Chains A and B, each alone.
Chain A
């Protein structure tokens, strides 16, 4: 304890600390800040050099245009729906598998783990064409399942690995006690393991949600109708062949980041702790 205090009170440490925090916060947030500022400027204000940092007057004009130039509200709802359903599906399936891997007497456990890790390394780009064909074959192109199924699968390995790490950390006695009291295996998973590994479930869910919200390649190739686009593809649709309406694009980006930023702000502490305990790919 004294050693830590000594470090904290060393002269000069405060200055370094302030500089470090400033660099991290500015470095991380400047691009977002820049897009927020851009989203309030007029095209005219953008074409100045040296750059005009603050907009002359703050108007929501660009935010309105975002919704009228493209069906951005639809993109947003599509993303929300696809991401939420993928997250629920993926975490549910992953919880069952993780329970088997972490808790049950399983032969070839190592083989399963190896398989799952290997799956997580598949390049999405090598799956694009066959997935397109499969989805076309079963008439799912331009539907929600065309994205939900791949998103569930792509995030399954990481969700399983995170949950296995959490489940393994729960004392077996708790489950044994529950089962003596008449709880079935699956009941023990639902009533004991899942509640106790809530931080793990939250971590896994966040990972799946972020992956799904951000996915671009499959969203680009498995949906073609404007009404089925997601935000990560949607923001690229404002650019013309030779023109980039930056105020519009910026406003779209700012809106599209709202759910992500909310999740980060609400869960940052739990998430970092969860990843630390889960100790796997983020």
Chain B
């Protein structure tokens, strides 16, 4: 509104100009306000709650300050360690799986050809699909009695499995589901990186007699390294925090075989109504995420 008066009536008395620093503060204020109120304050509140005893199931306890008691409990909690172990094992498998699938996907989607738009839609869909949709879709595909996965396995001479009721196979199915969903993200990042690789460079290498394979490894891959590193950090963080897909896919079961840290935090807080301990678990998850974030921030800063 203010700019309209300025541009349409240059003759009018000039407004008192804000200094650049003041203007920057004004422009940043809404963002910082929203981030502060909706992300930072709740996070601090979780930090504080983690130092309290706060169980809705035992309201007579009140909410006394209990120091590090929740963290001591955490260290001795076998279920926490199991959930952490699941999270790490799933993390290693799904992150590496998403690169193994996602990088070739990006290379294919980068080809010029009539099918490229279709390839891109197919590449983007898993990324953009709501995680609960993905979970339910794959749950149906992995159905032990009537699932299409078993059907295809049998047709190819394999053996039908009861995917969702046996711990190891449920975990396998979940990992495959997450790889399907997240490969797309890796492919998207790598495709972005590939578009930044100047074509002259790969062409020059090939003119110099390098095969396309050699030029790929010697020219393209090194140029992609920063993109791959960033994609890796983001994938690692989202793998640690994974919740939606396992929750909707298997709910942590069977027998806790797919319970990740995210699911355990949810159960502790929402189902067992133990807010204090749930908060301590959440802080533990946050601490690990923050560790990876610190690596990223350092990396980004080194870039500038």
Contacts and interface: CB of A to CB of B under 8 A. Distances in A.
Interface of A: 1-4, 6-7, 17, 20-21, 23-29, 31-32, 34-35, 38, 46-51, 93-94, 96-97, 99-101, 104-107, 110, 112-119, 121-131, 133-134, 149-150, 152-154, 156-157, 160, 182-187, 190-191, 210, 213-214, 216-217, 221, 231-233, 235-236, 244, 246, 249-250, 253, 256-257, 260-261, 263-265, 268-269, 271-273, 275-276, 279-282
B145 interface: yes
Given A117-B297, A119-B40, A160-B31, 13 more contacts: A24-B108, A27-B122, A96-B30, A100-B25, A105-B24, A121-B296, A130-B43, A149-B38, A156-B35, A183-B6, A187-B6, A214-B130, A256-B130
Contacts of B202: 3
B141 A31 contact: yes
A246 B140 contact: yes
Contacts of B107: 20
B207 interface: yes
B184 A97 contact: no
Interface of B: 2-3, 6-7, 10, 20-21, 23-25, 27-28, 30-32, 34-35, 37-43, 45-46, 49, 104-105, 107-109, 111, 113, 115, 117-134, 136-141, 145-148, 150-151, 154-155, 160, 180, 184-185, 188-189, 191-193, 195-196, 199, 202-203, 206-207, 212, 227, 230, 234, 237, 240-241, 243-244, 247-248, 262, 265-266, 269-270, 275, 278-279, 282-283, 285-286, 289-290, 292-293, 296-297, 300-301
Nearest to A25: B122
B206 A7 contact: yes
Given A24-B123, A93-B34, A126-B285, A275 B189 contact: yes
A271 B124 CA distance: 10
B46 A126 contact: yes
A211 to B, nearest CB: 10
B265 A125 contact: yes
Contacts of B133: 232, 235, 253, 256-257
B294 to A, nearest CB: 9
A126 B286 contact: yes
Contact of B195 (A124, A214, A272): A272
Nearest to A10: B212
A6 B212 CA distance: 10
Contact of B290 (A7, A105, A121, A130): A121
Contact of B7 (A48, A99, A187, A244): A187
Contact of B285 (A125, A149, A210): A125
A271 to B, nearest CB: 7
A69 to B, nearest CB: 15
A121 B24 contact: no
Nearest to A151: B38
Nearest to B1: A186
Nearest to B133: A253
B3 A187 contact: yes
B112 to A, nearest CB: 8
A156 B38 CA distance: 11
Nearest to A47: B146
